Structure 1
Amino acid sequence: MDGATSAAARAVSVRTVGFDELGERELSAWHGLRAANPLLDSPYFHPGFSAAVHASGCRVLVAVGRDASGEVRSLFPHHRERSVIRPVGWPGADFQGPITAPGSAFDPVILLTGGVRALAFDHLVDGLPGFQPWIESRRVSPFADVSGGLDGYLGRASRSGRDNMGQARRRAARAERTYGPVRFAADTVDAGCLDRLVALKRAQYAATGARDYFTEPGRRELLARLLHTRGRSFAGVLSTLHVGPHLVAAHFGIRSGGVLHWWFPVYDPAFSHLSPGWMLLRELVAASPALGVTRLDFGRGADEYKRRAKTGETLVCEGYLSRNPAGRAFRKMHRSMVAAMKTSTFGPGVRRILKKVRAIKR
């Protein structure tokens, strides 16, 4: 983009409004800017995701940037907690960033208005202009190219991915002989199965010590709303795998265009010997052409199955934007304490200290 074009595309003023205050002009600009920018093809950037989050009770604010002529040049949906803002869907959004035209100038410092002192992000799409000074770390976010369905995927997958898919096929045959018919639903609107998925996921959080996403009010409602969102450009997708009468694995994600985001996968540990997660993933890859899906985003994480199943990866960034040097120093200290906790034998004591730090850091 040349200097003249960049200047024309730059937002020179910003006004923050509630998502439900956006008019047709702003929503039309949102769709247009996103469609023109390949970095924003994840369903997290679709206004349908912000709409569902807002309607579930977690208020979404949108910073609308306009150029000198009044045209919308950027939108940044977010949440505000005291003086800190975070991207929409936090902490459950695996891709984050402003809605802008490709390569257009965006200075995130313009978000620090109206008492906002900092912007924290942990899954920012890499390569967005303007954020580089505030990025603290980058991590890989794997994906699977599933264009062409199972045959196409197997032609691109690693040897490990192909081996696991082959094992999943053999285990499915064995499960059918032992428990009864194997039934897969690629996209089902079944509230009962969604309830079971959430229950299994919460049990998994408890067993692993991970933070329970569903303890916060409204997040279960968010999934329910998305389950019934059936738009052609944006939808929730619930996939289930039954063996006989048993729901052995399920996944709930969101889709936009040809991208399906792998969001909440779970399996029943009573059937772990069957590796039902791989069985479900294999069926979903095979069903991808019928769903109109060409890419399956797994999201950031070091899970072994993601490493085996991926055909490629992108980068997402973590960082903290603040004009306050003391705030940035505090953030650096906090990150150092977290790193120390992970390697220290005194981890439980450090965790208690970190909880107190989180309570006062804003």
Structure 2
Amino acid sequence: MRTVGFDALTAEELDAWHLLRAANPLLDSPYFHPGFAAAVHASGREVRVAVGRDRAGEVRALLPHHRERSLIRPAGWPAADFQGPVLAPGSSFPPLALLAGGVRGFEFDHLVESCADFEPWVESRRPSPFLDVSGGLEGYLGRASRSGKDNMGQARRRTAKADRTYGPVRFAADAVDPEVLDRVVELKRAQYAATGARDYFAEPDRHDLLTRLLHTRDSSFGGVLSTLHAGPHLVAAHFGIRSENVLHWWFPVYDPAFSALAPGWMLLRELVAAAPALGITRIDLGRGDDEYKRRAKTGETPVCQGIVTRSSARQALRRARDSMVTSAKSSALGPGLRHIVHKLRDLRR
């Protein structure tokens, strides 16, 4: 195994990346497309790639990542919602081989279960919900839970109300509009501030990443900006990434002035209806405890949390921290302990 900067990958290695990913259905998320690592790298955060070859010299696995001192993390961290090596189904990967050149740990929090070799270092699993949108809105409603159907019905009625109250409702499934993207980031940062969550966009390269993805119009990969207006008002918007027939629901926002309309559901309904025209058959919502994800999902994919390390002490500290986080979240004091939860999570940074 050798590790090189993304820009130093050879044409052979990039071709192998595409071929290995195409052969493995578990890697159809856009996070596994080399275009994602390329955009992250170009935005200013160096992406390095561990390239594994067999004895015949053939590329068998690639793992894009960032290095921070003695720790490495998946490319796009902390907003990479699916992680893991790119390799053929059933292939092996030696996780401890990543611990070379002064690297003491490989931390992951959204590892897909595509490689059993990571099992000894998995500490927990959490569901990542998705929507099967084959057949558009009609197909989705045939698979949705009662709660999902009810919320979609309410979204239809609220869309009609918005049309009457504020002006014609307009939906754009794939808008290339940098000004609207700026507004998405502005609304998302306000949401982070209101909830006490870590501000992902505090680092300027993250905004640049979204801008690069917005203008990536490759037929197999790129950013997707969807907008919902009522009259002159931007009611809700979403920025995600897609690869072939999979769209990842990444940064959804809405204007709090219209919260009574539950505009997030209105936007999601329009996007599900537009899925066939976009060539989308699945929308990944990403790991999270949000109620709308629980209501909207038609299925879920498990993702793993843990760290590859030779240090038993490091693993013990992580387990203790995670236990405290879980206890704080489930406590009757709940909301009052939110700041403690965020402080504990910061210990992994």
TM band (smaller chain): over 0.9
TM-aligned CA deviation for residue 340 of structure 1:
4.3
Q: Does 1:126 align with 2:108?
A: no
Q: Distance in 1 between matches of 2:337 and 2:201?
A: 25
Q: Distance in 2 between matches of 1:94 and 1:188?
A: 23
Q: Distance in 2 between matches of 1:23 and 1:259?
A: 27
- Equivalent residue letter for 1:18: G
1:7 matched to which residue of 2? none
1:324 matched to which residue of 2? 311
1:184 matched to which residue of 2? 171
Out of 275, 289, 313, the position equivalent to 1:288 is 275
Out of 202, 208, 212, the position equivalent to 2:199 is 212
Greater Cα offset, 157-166 or 180-189 = 157-166
Q: Distance in 2 between matches of 1:264 and 1:27?
A: 28
1:6 matched to which residue of 2? none
Residues 268-304 of structure 1 deviation map (CA, whole Å, 9 limit, x = unaligned): 1100111111111111001001100000000001111
Aligned residues: 346
Q: Distance in 2 between matches of 1:351 and 1:235?
A: 34
1:20 matched to which residue of 2? 7
TM-aligned CA deviation for residue 159 of structure 1:
1.1
- Report matched runs for 1:1-362 at 5 Å: 14-342=1-329, 343=331, 347=337, 354=344
- Equivalent residue letter for 1:40: L
Gaps of 5+ in 1: 1-13
3-state DSSP class of the match of 1:250?
Answer: strand
TM-aligned CA deviation for residue 328 of structure 1:
1.7
TM-aligned CA deviation for residue 327 of structure 1:
1.9
Q: Distance in 1 between matches of 2:26 and 2:127?
A: 15
TM-aligned CA deviation for residue 149 of structure 1:
0.7
Percent of aligned pairs sharing the same letter: 72
- Equivalent residue letter for 2:140: Y
RMSD over equivalenced CA pairs, Å: 1.8
3-state DSSP class of the match of 1:58?
Answer: coil
Q: Distance in 2 between matches of 1:258 and 1:160?
A: 25
- Are the aligned partners of 1:257 and 1:293 in contact in 2 as well (CA < 8 Å)? yes
Residues 134-163 of structure 1 deviation map (CA, whole Å, 9 limit, x = unaligned): 000000111000011111111111111111
Q: Distance in 2 between matches of 1:174 and 1:352?
A: 38
- Are the aligned partners of 1:104 and 1:129 in contact in 2 as well (CA < 8 Å)? no
Greater Cα offset, 127-136 or 325-334 = 325-334
Gaps of 5+ in 2: none
TM-score by length of 1: 0.92
Q: Distance in 1 between matches of 2:289 and 2:229?
A: 27
TM-aligned CA deviation for residue 127 of structure 1:
4.2
Cα distance change, pair 28–87 in 1 and its aligned pair in 2 (3 A): same
- Are the aligned partners of 1:96 and 1:125 in contact in 2 as well (CA < 8 Å)? yes
- Equivalent residue letter for 1:246: H
